[in-house]
Amino acid sequence: MTREEVRSLLLAREPADEKEQDDRAAMLAFLAELPEPFSRDQPRAHFTASALVVDHARTRTALVHHRKLGIWVQPGGHLDPDDPSYEHAALREVSEETGLDGTLQPPRPLHLDVHEIPEPPHLHLDVRFLVIADGDLVLSDESHEVRWVAIEGARLLGDTSVERLIAAFKSERATTKA
């Protein structure tokens, strides 16, 4: 995965609001500025991949209760050096954290988000995808719990970052139905 590939991916996403527009601008700046933007060892900020995993009916989403953060989040995490693409990284994270094999859906990406991680303080520059999957969830050692949750209920469980992701999903659904 090259900087130019990631730059193209970031530019492919039309921001839905001012927050996402600001986040995309910050991500593009970090992409140009950081010596190793895809390395988890980059102390100030680094890129991550995640996915909103929904069932085929698109009524439920798979959330994980993150062991370190103590909050409900979508599956996702750090990029591995051998990830050939962002999409691959997102699908790998989904499989590792939920046990599900999913299928990527358009748009790619679904959402862009910059959020703070408290310990140690740094930023995750998260490129988010939509994945369709069904099946039984499997608990990983990164989580306390993993569960299917109604889309509306997920907004109540998750933090503001999850709320923004679900809003992007609902906006895309409304656009594709129109």
- pLDDT band at residue 7 under the 50/70/90 scheme: very high
- pLDDT band at residue 158 under the 50/70/90 scheme: low
Sign of the CA dihedral with 84 first, then 85, 87, and 92 last: positive
* DSSP string over 105-126: ESSSSSEEEEEEETTTTEEEEE
Q: What is the mean pLDDT of residues 55-68?
A: 92
* Fold observed for domain 3-177: Nucleoside Triphosphate Pyrophosphohydrolase (3.90.79)
144 vs 125, higher pLDDT? 125
- pLDDT band at residue 177 under the 50/70/90 scheme: low
The two counts, helices (H) then strands (E), for the chain are 5, 8
pLDDT at 132 over 90: yes
pLDDT at 178 over 70: no
**Mean pLDDT, the chain, as a whole number?**
92
Q: What is the mean pLDDT of residues 119-142?
A: 92
Q: What is the mean pLDDT of residues 154-159?
A: 73
Beta-ladder partners of 85: none
pLDDT at 143 over 80: no
Strand locations in the chain, DSSP E? 45-54, 60-66, 72-73, 76-78, 103-105, 111-117, 122-132, 143-150
Q: What is the mean pLDDT of residues 43-61?
A: 96
